[in-house]
Amino acid sequence: MRIKLRPIGLIKSYVEERDIDVLPGCTSRTLLKELRIPEQFKMVTFVNGKKYKLDDKLQENDEVKLVTLVTGG
């Protein structure tokens, strides 16, 4: 199935915006592993404008925004 991948923030240096094919039943967590996103990045995913849990399943034509959380002081 095809989804629209939209990286936001620091993650843009690892992932480019594009449409990609993923297996049915793919979750945001699976997607992050397949994209080889370093685990030190704390990520939030928004699917079609709504915050998703990492284990929620993606659907055909979903727009997935990967947002890097920034912490520090």
Tell me which residue of 10, 9, 11, 13 sits closest to 31, measured CA to CA: 11
CATH code for position 14: 3.10.20.30
The answer to whether residue 20 sits within a structural domain is yes
Residue 73 domain flag: no
Tens digits of per-residue pLDDT, 14-43?
889 999 999 999 999 899 899 988 777 788
**What is the tally of structural domains in the chain?**
1
Measure CA 47 to chain center.
9
- Is the pLDDT at 49 greater than 90? The verdict is yes
**Is residue 34 situated within a structural domain?**
yes
Global confidence as pTM:
0.86
- For residue 45, the enclosing domain spans 2-68
Residue 27 lies in a domain: yes
